[in-house]
Amino acid sequence: MTLNLVCFIGMIICYACGVYMLLERSFTRIILGTLLIGNATNLLLFLTAGNVGDAPLMGGGADPETFTDPLPQAFILTAIVITFATTAFMLALLYRSWRIAREDSIKDDQESVELRDVDPEADDEVFDESDSGDTEFDDDDHEPAREEGRP
């Protein structure tokens, strides 16, 4: 299998730029980062398809060994639909956010900010086995409980 170096480098650049844009605070840049990662995934699936061959619909005396595998193409179409649906949903969220608040930036949630300062040592729960209560499972080798009406 030969790998097209230009598509491979383009895929890496799309992934890198997409992840960088996802880390921004602007919702528009987050949407563009999602689009870049979706397109990079399509390139990845395209590169995994292998060598280009004949169409699988050829009839007659065509050799099945020369056919192109249609499965990666189906994966690419599925990835395009998923990326389109995700983008449409995120654009609807952006439109709603712009209509209500007139801003494009993502703010920190106050509860999430408070969790940054929690001391992990002071937050540990102490578990005592005697406080666990009774369970339906016995440690003894008894017969399993049977439901009423069943043999």
Domain ranges of the chain: 27-52+68-102
Structure tokens at 140: 């003894």
Amino acid of residue 64: P
Give the global pTM. Answer: 0.65
Amino acid of residue 17: C
**Average pLDDT over all residues of the chain:** 80
Q: What are phi and psi of 20, to 5 degrees?
A: -60, -40
64-97 pLDDT, tens digit each: 777 777 888 888 899 999 999 999 999 998 899 8
Separation of alpha carbons 87 and 105, rounded Å = 17
At 12 the pLDDT is 95
Q: Which residues of 57-91 are buried (b: 16+ CB within 10 A; e: fewer)?
A: eeeeeeeeeeeeeeebeebbeebeeebeeeeeebe
Residue 106: CB atoms within 10 Å: 13
